[in-house]
Amino acid sequence: MASIKQLQKRINYHFQNPEFLEQALTHRSVGAKNNERLEFLGDAILNMAVARDLYQRFPKAREGQMSRLRASMVKGKTLAEIAREFELGDYLRLGSGELKSGGFRRESILADAVEAIIGAISLDADLVVAEAKTLEWYESRLRELTLEDVRKDNKTRLQEYLQGKRLALPEYEVISITGEPHCQEFTVQCRLEDGSESIAVGSSRKLAEQKSALALLEQLGIIDD
């Protein structure tokens, strides 16, 4: 396993008690003393740190906008990206089964370990230091955020419009699937209670549904604010 000192240099934090970091890197597959409790703690600190930053960074943002921005920052994919930047997989302590299955590359395990390290820092120092270190890791991502990043997807926009009018939700139906398994095209129909409908084609069912929802939004003359 790579040196713990190297990891501390990567994350730019030196532990007074290295045992906290060692536990944060220990997956439950190793045994009872693992990083799950630290992950729980780190998750709460991460959400608070990002929420506070967004509140100050976007003084005119609405609650829903800030919630969606925060969700994009604290999701597993983003955490795993940060873990890979630290090459965290090299330092994880995994049971034999997880080692054989490549657990050191698994997104969920990497994400959990980042949260656990945040929790570990809060115990080694305090909440202020843990939040500051978290925001340091996120600095470039937070700096690049704009309120355009919270633009709702077409299905959500259509659904919320219909709910606001107290109308039934749209129905999506796959009309056909063509092409080889590795290169399929999905044709989806979106139908409303009043008989309005649209048909769209996409490389996945999800994409086709989004396109058909967009077509109906255009039919209804809905403009996102």
Query: Has 43 been annotated as catalytic?
Result: yes
Cα separation, 133 vs 167, whole angstroms: 47
Catalytic residue among 98, 115, 131, 209: 115
Cα separation, 93 vs 91, whole angstroms: 7
Query: Has 115 been annotated as catalytic?
Result: yes
Contact 15, 80 (CB under 8 A): no
CA-wise closest residue to 39 among 91, 90, 84, 74:
74
Reduced to 3 states, what is the DSSP secondary structure of residue 183?
coil
Give the C-alpha distances (Å, rounded to integers) separating 166 from 67, 153, 162, 169, 197: 25, 20, 6, 9, 18
Cα separation, 102 vs 210, whole angstroms: 34
Structure tokens at 173: 């139906």
Structure tokens at 172: 């999506």
Beta strand 171-178 with 197-202: parallel, antiparallel or unpaired? Answer: unpaired
The CB density around residue 43, as the number of other CB atoms within 10 Å, is 19
Structure tokens at 113: 């370990």
The set of catalytic residues is 43, 115
